[in-house]
Structure 1
Amino acid sequence: MKMPQSRIPAAALTAVLAAAVLPAPAPALAAPRGERWATDLSRVDADDVNVRYTRAGLRLADPRPSAGRPPRGPVAEGMLLAAPRTLARPANRVRAQITARVAAGASVDAEVRGWWAGGWTEWRAVTGDAAVFDRPVTRVQARVVLDTRRPGVTAEVRAVRLTADTAAAVSAATPGLTFRVYATRIGLVGETTANGHTIVPRDHFVALPSRRGLAPRDTGDYTVRVCTTSGSRCEYAPVWDVGPWNTRDDYWNLSAVRENWKDLPQGQPQAQAAYQYGYNGGRDQFGRVVLNPAGIDLADGTFWDGLQLGTNAWVDVAYLWTGSGPRGVVGDGPLNVRAGASTAYAVRGLAARYANVPIQCHVTGQTVAGPYRTTSRWNRLAGGQYVSHAYVSAVYGGTVPPC
C-alpha cells in the first residue's frame, strides 16, 4: 500500500480537526449549525483497511511501516470507510470534529466526499475550517485515515462528529479533464492496494498519486479512461491504488485545489517535473530520487491486455469524475469496447469490471445475451466507441438519449 506523509502535529494528545480544502468563508465564532451526526467507528468490515476497534478507540491493526520498493513509502496506513449519510436537505460544506489520542510519529485525517446527480465528488480532507464542494450534495461519506512512521506507534480515534451545512457557492471544476502522462506497470501480484484489494494476475485497475481519486474496493466511483497516444487502444479502469511516487499529488486539479506542488502546471505530475527538470531537487515527497516521470500506474491486465503495451509509455488519461452526463456501471468484465454496435466490429480496448463509463447515447445493434439482460441496445461512449448494454448493471447521472 502506498502511504502519505503525516499531517497532524504529533505532540497533540487530543486533536480537533476542521479545515477548508476549497476557498471558504471565514469560520464562524459560534458553534456551526446544520445537520450533525457521529461516525460509527466500531463498525469495521470488509471495505476497511488495516484498522481495528478497541475500547480505547479506532487504531491501526498492524502499525509496522514497510519501506518496500518505490513508489511505496515507509509509512503504515489504515482506513475506515463509514456508511454514506443521506442528508435531510442538500448541503455543500462539511465540518469534522475528531477526538483522538495521537502518539509522536502518528497522525489521523478525516476525509469526506459528496454525492450529486453526476456521481461522487473527489475526496476532500477536512483539516481546517471545512470541506466545501462545488455543488450541493445529497449524501456524504466519510473515511478516517490513520498512519504512522514509527513501528508499534498509532493513534487512537475516539470520536468523529460531522456537520453538513451550506456555504457560499464556489466555482465548478472544469469537466472532462484529460492529460498526457507517463505510465508504468504495477505488477505486485498478491500484494494489497490502498483500498484493500488483493492484486491478482492480469488485474484491471490503475493507481494515481492522490487519495482524492481513490475508489472504495469493488467500485468504480473514480474511473479513468487511459488510451495509447495514437488512440488505437483504450481501457476504462477504476482507481484502486495510490501512486506512483507521491501520495498527495492530484495534478489534474487547478492550483487553487491541488493539494501540493501548486506552482506546477495543471496536468503535470510532480514526479515528471522532478525527473525531467530537477524540480524539488529531483526528489519525491518522501525525499527519494525519482527514477521515471510516471503520473499513473497500470495493473498488468490494463497494461498488457487493455492497451497492449510492451513497455512503459506515455498515455492519454481522462479523469472521468471531472466530467458530466450519464454514467454506466460495467457489472461484468473486462468488457470489450468496440468500434460499432456489433461483435463483428473491431475491439478498441476494454472496460474493467466496476468501471463507470460515460454514455453519450444509445443505438440499436446486434442482440446480445448478457448477465443483466438480453438486449439489442448498445451504448456509445464519450470516445465514440460502443459497449453492449447487456453488461451494464446500472446507469446514473441522467437519462441516456437515442443517438
Structure 2
Amino acid sequence: MAVCPRRTPSSLLVGLLAVTLAGALTPTTVAAAPRAPTTTDLSRPALDRTALDRVALDRSALDRAGPWAAGERWSVDLAVGGGDDVNVRTGAGLLRLADTRPTRRTRPAALAAPVAEGALLAPARTLAGPANRIHADLTAETPPGTTAQVQVRGARATGWTEWREAGGAPVVFDRPVTRVQTRVLLTTRDPKAAASVRAVRLTADTATVAAPAPAAVRSYRVFATREGEVGGVTANGRTIRPRDHFVALPSRRGLSPLDSGDYTVRVCTTSGSRCEYAPVWDVGPWNTRDDYWNPASVRENWKDLPQGRPEAQAAYQYGYNGGRDQFGRTVLNPAGIDLADGTFWDGLLLTDNAWVDVTYLWTGSGPRGVVGSGPLNIRTGPGTSYPTRGLAATHADVPIQCYVKGQTVAGTYRTTNRWNRLAGGQYVSHAYVSAVYGGTVSPC
C-alpha cells in the first residue's frame, strides 16, 4: 500500500513562496548594447507558475489536514485485485464500477433493489502505534444518482470494530486499534452514470474519549426470510451455492470480508431447539443502512425506532416511513435477516419464513474459535453420541465459554479430545477449529 510523502513544513512553504515571489517581481538590470533594447530585454522574468502552483497545492493540503496533520498518513492503493473486490475496475488512475446495470451479479443478492454497487477492499494497514481516530479525505466525482463512500474499521485483540463511514467527520473508536482496513463503496441508480474515485487518503491519530461501559452481547427477535438466489453474488463477492450457509443483514456495518466470519451471528428458532452460527456475507433484506441492533446514538438511520426493531418491520407492521424502505419500495414483510438455504433448511430445519432469535456476536467479547471446516455439528455433550442441536458454518467465529475433555475426534486440524462449550450448554469438537483469538480459553 502506498504511503503519502511527508508534507513540507508550513514555515518552509512560506519561505519558499516568498523567495519565489521576490525573484519573480524584482526587475532585471539590462546591460548596455549597441542596438536598441528589445521588448525581451526590458521585460521581467516570467513567473515560475509550476513552483507557485506546487507551493499553493502543498499549502492547501496542509490546511485541509487541519488537526490531523500530525498523525500517521497513508493513501489507499486503488488497484483492483483479488476476490474481495466486487464489481469495480481501475483505469487511468480512477476507480469505477465495472458494470453499472442493476443485476443479480451487481447488487447484493439479498437486496433486489434498482441499484448497482461495487466495493474495493484494501489490505489492512498495521499502524506505527495505537490510534482511535481515523480521518478520510476522498477525491471523487459523483454524478447525480451515484455515490462514493469510504468506510473504515479497526482491529484490536478482541476482533474488529464495526465498519464506520469516514467521510466528513472523523471516525472515533471507543478503544485504540492497531490495524485499520478501508473499504471504498460505489453505487449508482442510473446505468448511464458512474462515480469515479481518484484518491483516498487517511490519517490516524488519538483523541480523548470516555472509557466505554461494559455491554452485554446484543440479541433480538426478528423475522427471517429464506434468501435463495443461488448463482447470485453476495455483497462481499461470494457466488451463492446450493444449500449455502451465511446470513444477510440490512447494513454494511456488519458485513464480513469474503471467506471470513469477522461478523458472525447466532440465529436460533424461538423454541431454542435449533441454532446455527453463520457469517454475515450479504446485505439486505430491504435496506442497506439499517444497523438496527445498535443504539440510537450509533444507529445510522431511523434513530427514532426502538433498538432492535428493523425499519422494514416498523414499515410493515406500523406504516413507518409510509410503509416503504429506503428505496421507496412498499415493504411486503417485516424481515430483519435473510438466511441462506443451508442455514434455513439444514441449520434451523425451517420450512417457511419465521421469527428467530439473533445474537450479533461481534457486539460481545471473550475468546472466539474460528470454524475452519464445516458445517460443524453442534451437540448437547462432548461426543458424537450426543444429539445435534444445529450447525456452525465454515468461517463462523463462535464464542467459547470453556472446554472439557470428551470423545477423541480426528478432525481437519488435529486429533483431540477437547470439546469447546458454547452458549446454552452446547459443544463443538476442537478438532475442526482452525484458530482461537480474543482471550485464553480455560477448562470448565
Aligned ranges for residues 131-146 of structure 1 at < 5 Å? Answer: 131-146=171-186
Q: How much does 1:132 deviate?
A: 1.1
Q: Are 1:52 and 2:92 matched, yes or no?
A: no
Residue of 103, 106, 130 corresponding to 1:90: 130
Q: How much does 1:169 deviate?
A: 1.5
Q: Are 1:106 and 2:146 matched, yes or no?
A: yes
Size of the aligned set, in residue pairs, is 377
Quick check: 2:110–2:283 contact (8 Å CA) kept in 1?
Answer: no
2: distance between equivalents of 1:157 and 1:93? Answer: 23
Quick check: 1:134–1:173 contact (8 Å CA) kept in 2?
Answer: no
Q: Which has the larger radius of gyration?
A: 2
2: distance between equivalents of 1:45 and 1:389? Answer: 31
When residues 173 and 194 of structure 1 are mapped into structure 2, their CA distance, relative to the original with a 3 A threshold, is farther
Hey, what does 2:439 align to over in structure 1?
A: 398
When residues 173 and 83 of structure 1 are mapped into structure 2, their CA distance, relative to the original with a 3 A threshold, is farther
Residue of 267, 271, 288 corresponding to 2:308: 267
Query: 2:338 aligns to what SS in structure 1?
Result: strand
2: distance between equivalents of 1:382 and 1:309? Answer: 21
Q: Are 1:230 and 2:271 matched, yes or no?
A: yes
Hey, what does 2:101 align to over in structure 1?
A: 64
Quick check: 1:173–1:322 contact (8 Å CA) kept in 2?
Answer: no
1: distance between equivalents of 2:427 and 2:69? Answer: 48
2: distance between equivalents of 1:57 and 1:91? Answer: 29
Hey, what does 1:35 align to over in structure 2?
A: 72
Hey, what does 1:354 align to over in structure 2?
A: 395
Hey, what does 2:408 align to over in structure 1?
A: 367
Quick check: 2:420–2:428 contact (8 Å CA) kept in 1?
Answer: yes
When residues 123 and 70 of structure 1 are mapped into structure 2, their CA distance, relative to the original with a 3 A threshold, is closer
Quick check: 1:56–1:156 contact (8 Å CA) kept in 2?
Answer: no
> Structure 1 unaligned runs (5+)?
1-26
2: distance between equivalents of 1:337 and 1:30? Answer: 51
User: Identical aligned pairs, as a percentage?
Assistant: 71
Q: Are 1:319 and 2:356 matched, yes or no?
A: no
When residues 31 and 388 of structure 1 are mapped into structure 2, their CA distance, relative to the original with a 3 A threshold, is closer
Quick check: 1:236–1:355 contact (8 Å CA) kept in 2?
Answer: yes
Cα offsets for 1:107-157 (capped at 9, x unmatched): 100000110111011000112211111211111000100111111311121
Hey, what does 2:61 align to over in structure 1?
A: none
2: distance between equivalents of 1:194 and 1:315? Answer: 23
Query: 1:274 aligns to what SS in structure 2?
Result: helix
2: distance between equivalents of 1:70 and 1:120? Answer: 24
Q: How much does 1:382 deviate?
A: 2.7
Aligned ranges for residues 1-400 of structure 1 at < 5 Å? Answer: 29-66=66-103, 71-170=111-210, 171=212, 174-400=215-441
Query: 1:122 aligns to what SS in structure 2?
Result: coil
2: distance between equivalents of 1:292 and 1:391? Answer: 37
When residues 30 and 205 of structure 1 are mapped into structure 2, their CA distance, relative to the original with a 3 A threshold, is closer
2: distance between equivalents of 1:66 and 1:200? Answer: 18
Q: For residue 349 of structure 1, what is the amino acid of its counterpart?
A: G
2: distance between equivalents of 1:31 and 1:188? Answer: 44
Once superposed, what is the RMSD of the aligned Cα atoms? 1.6
Q: How much does 1:105 deviate?
A: 1.9
Q: For residue 343 of structure 1, what is the amino acid of its counterpart?
A: T
Q: For residue 370 of structure 1, what is the amino acid of its counterpart?
A: G
2: distance between equivalents of 1:173 and 1:190? Answer: 42
Cα offsets for 1:255-314 (capped at 9, x unmatched): 010000000000000111111111111111111111111000000000000000111110
Hey, what does 2:44 align to over in structure 1?
A: none
Q: How much does 1:100 deviate?
A: 1.3
Query: 1:383 aligns to what SS in structure 2?
Result: helix
> Structure 2 unaligned runs (5+)?
1-63
Q: TM-score, normalised by structure 2?
A: 0.83
Greater RCO structure (CA 8 Å; 6+ sep): 1
2: distance between equivalents of 1:70 and 1:138? Answer: 33
Cα offsets for 1:171-207 (capped at 9, x unmatched): 3573310000000000010100111101111000000
Q: For residue 148 of structure 2, what is the amino acid of its counterpart?
A: V
2: distance between equivalents of 1:314 and 1:80? Answer: 34
When residues 30 and 115 of structure 1 are mapped into structure 2, their CA distance, relative to the original with a 3 A threshold, is closer
Q: For residue 106 of structure 1, what is the amino acid of its counterpart?
A: T
2: distance between equivalents of 1:157 and 1:173? Answer: 39
Q: How much does 1:168 deviate?
A: 1.8
Hey, what does 1:14 align to over in structure 2?
A: none
Q: For residue 86 of structure 2, what is the amino acid of its counterpart?
A: V
1: distance between equivalents of 2:424 and 2:179? Answer: 30
Query: 1:146 aligns to what SS in structure 2?
Result: strand
